[in-house]
Structure 1
């Protein structure tokens, strides 16, 4: 039997009024000490930092990694993990709020209802952790194979193709769609883009709003991704127009991202492309055999002192 007076004396606010929640937790096997500790953490808020055993083990792993690869590289990896996990946490939170609103106390105004909903959602956390581990292992094998094709020396420089594609007129589109419609559109674009990139043997680097960035070791594969994105039948069905900008050359690959002139040029080319157009840089144009182009364009691109020659790729009808 729950001793509500003892819980109240130990710091659990309004213990008797919150009896349904407390009895639910008691039935799940939570002890009075655990409830009191949880209440103290809630009162203290997120500003009070505590370390779990997993936190300590994580710090130990990072310290050992620093010895193996050096402080700069280990710290860079830690930043990538942090930003990646932060984005994952936001994605999971957004999904939960949209599909299971009862996890929010300000929606239910009832602790018991929210506790039950939160318990159901939290049950997936360790399983998602296993998913992350499995997917990570697959990506490690894929990344190793990819970098074996593009690394030219012992540095962080690689020689590869860079592609950017985005939805033409997306800003105007956001003013016409509801948040639900916009969410569905972006989810479909990211899913389709990911499938197309992987099918061509290339790699997704990141999504930036309505844009996708990918890399590829072979010029033909890089271009095929752009063609499949721009001419995808789903885009025509939804009256959307995709455009793309492509380049090829030596870039710096670090922290899961890419830097250098080819990256900047490809990003500027997609911004200059017309709807349903693919603009190819001169270095990439020289590597492509059997591809037809329309008249070259001389473009003044931000960040480039001299005009840049771009070649619009002829697309299949």
Structure 2
């Protein structure tokens, strides 16, 4: 099957509109339409008839929100960027995880239908994935609204709040990746991400982002962050089949934007992992002061220079 035929099978229609026609349908200037298209993560096609009715309708949705004054164009760009980045990663993740399985299991059915196995399987099972996607989005949207409302009850700016930030990374990942096979390093990263996410969710935290050999997470209070860090060490560092980890925690005001967190505690948590010992938790003084003294034992470490913060006295913590 040709690339064009596969695209028609997955999208359900053939391209028939130019960028100018899509912009006209959406009620947007050509410049704005092209910018939104790029922000979604798709390449431009000049004056080719490379766009479908669904493409035009999608941009029309954004245009209608702009027309009604619900959002500004700058806000629209940020929201669309989040949608594009998230969907691109999700699609790559799903196809990468399922492609080999689908091609092996449904090869005969796909051959009979004259399509590629992955295309055949996605056409058959795609609607159920869409249902799961919509369910997960609605549930996470509800949780995000609850968080914003809780933050607004405390502070007039719902984007800024006090949190405990955690950063956990694999020790010696660069050297390790040069020593083991690509399959093994991929397996390690997958296990690391999955186990960390499980612990973070169990302790009512939020996984902000994963960077392969590291994860960034937040908890509402220092004790929950400590329990999360302890759990990550238990499921990763204590497993002899896995590499060691280091965890840094910092507490304070952070800014939440575009699904990410910013501010000194984020930077401090990342820097602390650089001075942490293997399978140990290192925190800043704000976190140490917020931990219950009857449960957690704190030990100040010698002062040392930390990039961006000058000389810092980190604190090692463990259960009493």
TM bucket (normalised to shorter chain) is 0.7 to 0.9
Structure 2 unaligned segments of length 5 or more: list them: 16-42, 106-110
* Conserved? CA contact 2:161–2:254, under 8 Å: yes
Structure 2 counterpart of 1:222: 225
Matches within 5 A, 1:200-239: 200-232=203-235, 235-239=238-242
Residue of structure 2 in register with 1:246 after alignment: 249
Preserved CA contact (<8 Å) 2:298 2:316: yes
CA shift, 1:116, in A, is 4.4
How many matched pairs? 275
Check whether the contact 2:207–2:218 (CA below 8 A) recurs between aligned residues: yes
Superposition deviation, residue 216 in structure 1: 1.2
Q: Which has the larger radius of gyration?
A: 1
Match of 2:60 in 1: 60
Q: How does 1:142-221 map to 2 (within 5 A)?
A: 142-151=143-152, 152-154=155-157, 156-221=159-224
State the alpha-carbon separation in 2 of the partners of residues 269 and 111 from structure 1.
58
Q: Deviations over 1:56-106 (max 9, x none)?
A: 232122223332132222211111111111111221232244434579xxx
Question: Structure 2 CA distance, aligned partners of 1:75 and 1:189?
Answer: 33
1:51 aligns with 2:54: no
Cα 1:49–1:91 change in 2 (3 A) is farther
Give the structure 1 partner of residue 129 of structure 2.
128
- Alignment CA distance shift 1:234-1:121 (3 Å): farther
SS at match of 1:313: strand
Preserved contact between residue 149 and residue 217 of structure 1 (Cα < 8 Å): no
Distance (Å, rounded) in 1 between the aligned partners of 2:142 and 2:240: 36
Correspondence 1:225-304 to 2 at 5 A:
225-232=228-235, 235-290=238-293, 291-304=296-309
Question: Using the alignment, how far apart are the partners of 2:302 and 2:97 within structure 1?
Answer: 44
Give the CA deviation at 1:267: 1.1
TM-score (norm 2): 0.75
Separation in structure 2 between the aligned mates of residue 220 and residue 126 of structure 1, nearest angstrom? 42
**Displacement after TM superposition at 1:119 (Å):** 1.1
CA pair 148-278 structure 1, distance change in 2 beyond 3 A: farther
Aligned to 2:23: none
Note the residue ranges of structure 1 that are not aligned, 5 or more in a row. Answer: 1-11, 14-21, 39-44, 104-109
TM-score (ref. length: structure 1)? 0.76
Equivalent residue for 1:95, pick from 79, 94, 97 = 97
Conserved 8 A contact 2:300-2:314? no
SS of residue paired to 1:69: coil
Counterpart-to-counterpart distance in 2, 1:292 and 1:153: 35
- How far the C-alpha of 1:133 sits from its partner, in A, is 0.6
SS at match of 1:243: strand
